[in-house]
Amino acid sequence: MKTREHLASLSAVLLCAAAAAATWGGTPRPIAPPPLAQSGAAGPCEKLAGLKLDDVDVVSATAQPDRAPVEGAAVGARGVSWMMPLPELPAFCRVVGRIHPEAGSDIGFEVWLPVKGWDGRLSGVGIGGFGGMIDYRSLSLIIKVGQAGVATDTGHTGAGQLDASWAKGHPQRVRDYGWRAVHLATVHAKQLVEAFYGRRADKSYFIGCSGGGRQGLIEASRFPDDYDGVLAGAPAASWTDVAIAMINAVQAQLPAGAAIRVDQMQLLESEVQRQCHPTDGLISDPRKCGFDVKRLECGTNSSAQCFSPAQTKALSRIQAGARDSAGRQLTGGYLPAGAESGPFGWATYLLTDASGAFGAQLHADGLTQNFIQDQFPTAAAFNFDTDPTRLKAELSGDLDVQPRLSKFFARGGKLILWHGWADPAIPPQATLDLDAAIHRNSSRAKNSERLFMVPNVQHCFGGNGPASFGQNNAPQPGDKPDNSMAAALQEWVEKGRAPDAITARFGLGLGGAPAVQPERQRLLCAYPRQAVLKSGAAPDSAVNYNCRIPSRN
């Protein structure tokens, strides 16, 4: 079982791992490095420390030597250790700043500017959970491929990405976290880019997952001029709905004997696979499975090979999603996806840790007990008839995405959405509903937005599906539009070629992590099409699939 500290570390999966674009798509225009300083004079990087920006304190502007360690960029012990800077980075200018848009606001941000070979692009870095730290790893991946990068702590520091205590009594910090920090960091990053290189960035991209996906969508909907392309994975687009879905999962397991155990996940996963009959080992659309939870029952036996009646009742409620007392659907559920086990599966979000705390409750309580400034019911006391309305009235204005992207699309902006069908944090139906709403609100969405639903992939990465498709970081060497969503986004913005299929590989899917060897592939198709294996073909090569509209059966 996981300790709460381990759970906080694993909430990296609620993060939005990286930022967009790098060297593919369009014709990069490498920029000569700024001239070196004369002896005894401040260099072009150090001079940025004196730049006057509205409501900004430039704390430092430091010329970082080639392959030197990045000092003072460690992530806290309860943060995510793999978010520390990568080693052996090329020379760059590191700008550290703080933004103060109103009293009580203190937004930390960093801009990293490669000294040589800048390709004219700026990449924004998203971060998930409750933020509170800089994602140095993503900044490292950005400058390694010649882009300038910007990241923010979203207006606070905390004891890990599950810590929301900073919000209580500080509504201005909720505004910073909800929509203001990423926007202002982007605005000032563009000013720093122009001051350093002597011209503006040609294109700007944003990549994020979970909370980072939400940030990208907030940018596109509220500030359509900030970015030219957004890649938003498993977005917490309606944070309030995510909280309601998680509270439903908590309440389902509160009755005596109803809590589902981690050691039962392998049985659940195997039974889903058995009942859903995936032709190639992957469940293309769990909504069509017709999973019967009763087949897991075997009385009150406490074996990991058995679910009690109380547990199957809880499981049914979790999979069905939140409803009010009249049976009206409030949120989607956590579907029978055939990838329930593993470190990024149900154990992290929907089940209890060694302390007895539900991962879902830790997330939901952040909003209900800290973001809302007045007293609000706990997860156990939450009333699905009355409390959702109050929750949304309090928080939707600052946290939730309004799916109106007409201005973003009108100026040529492109959006790629993706979501794993096995997501145990954000119900996949939420992104399907978001996609439909975006299309209802803008006729331009048909030519400006794509959605990819990924079988057997968990939250942002992980699972037993094809989780590696260039979704969580700037395109790295070897990434191309046919195997990397980030590279495909760049080509779409810069060359006009929309991505309708992507080759995904099996592997963790964490930015920069290698795929499984020998390589196994699947084809991902733009929704509503699905990948269909050609008759008699081997399943582990993407070329053996066609994209087709699924039958209604």
pLDDT at 419: 98
Residue 242 has pLDDT above 90, yes or no: yes
Question: pLDDT tens across 14-61, in order?
Answer: 333 333 333 233 344 445 455 433 334 568 999 999 999 999 999 999
Q: Of 21-30, 100-109, 525-534, which gets the smallest average pLDDT?
A: 21-30
Length of the chain as a residue count: 553
Residue 534: count other Cβ atoms within 10 Å of its Cβ: 11
pLDDT at 352: 86
The proportion of the chain whose per-residue pLDDT surpasses 70, expressed as a percent, equals 90
Segment 513-532 shows an average pLDDT of 90
Q: Which of 400, 433, 392, 424 is closest to 217 using CA atoms?
A: 400
Q: SS3 for 202?
A: coil
Segment 274-297 shows an average pLDDT of 92
Residue 251 has pLDDT above 60, yes or no: yes
Question: pLDDT tens across 62-84, in order?
Answer: 999 999 999 989 876 567 777 89
Question: pLDDT tens across 210-240, in order?
Answer: 999 999 999 999 999 999 999 999 999 999 9
Q: SS3 for 277?
A: coil
pLDDT at 74: 83
Q: Which of 111, 125, 110 is closest to 16 using CA atoms?
A: 125
Q: CA triplet 218, 412, 471: central angle to 5 degrees?
A: 55
Residue 257 has pLDDT above 60, yes or no: yes
Residue 174 pLDDT grade (very low, low, confident, very high; cuts 50, 70, 90): very high
> What is the per-residue DSSP string for 377-395?
--TTT--TTTHHHHHHHHH
Residue 354 pLDDT grade (very low, low, confident, very high; cuts 50, 70, 90): low
Question: pLDDT tens across 307-330, in order?
Answer: 999 999 999 999 999 999 999 999
Residue 168 has pLDDT above 90, yes or no: yes
Segment 385-399 shows an average pLDDT of 98
Q: How far is CA 471 from CA 4, 80, 137, 321, 487, in A?
A: 28, 19, 15, 27, 9
Q: SS3 for 293?
A: helix
pLDDT at 411: 97
Going from N- to C-terminal start, the domains of the chain cover 241-397
CA torsion angle 494 498 499 501 (round to 10): -150
pLDDT at 512: 65
pLDDT at 42: 62
Q: SS3 for 136?
A: helix
pLDDT at 76: 63
Burial class (CB in 10 A: 0-12, 13-18, 19+), 157: middle
- The whole-chain average pLDDT of the chain stands at 90
Beta partners for residue 111, in sequence order:
95, 150
* Gyration radius of the chain over CA positions: 23
For residues 61 and 45, is the Cβ–Cβ distance under 8 A? Answer: yes
For residues 457 and 465, is the Cβ–Cβ distance under 8 A? Answer: yes
Residue 392: count other Cβ atoms within 10 Å of its Cβ: 18
Residue 244 has pLDDT above 80, yes or no: yes
Residue 30: count other Cβ atoms within 10 Å of its Cβ: 13
Question: Beta strand 107-114 with 92-99: parallel, antiparallel or unpaired?
Answer: antiparallel
Residue 198 has pLDDT above 70, yes or no: yes
pLDDT at 40: 42
Q: Distance (Å, rounded) from C-alpha 32 to C-alpha 37? A: 15
Segment 251-275 shows an average pLDDT of 95
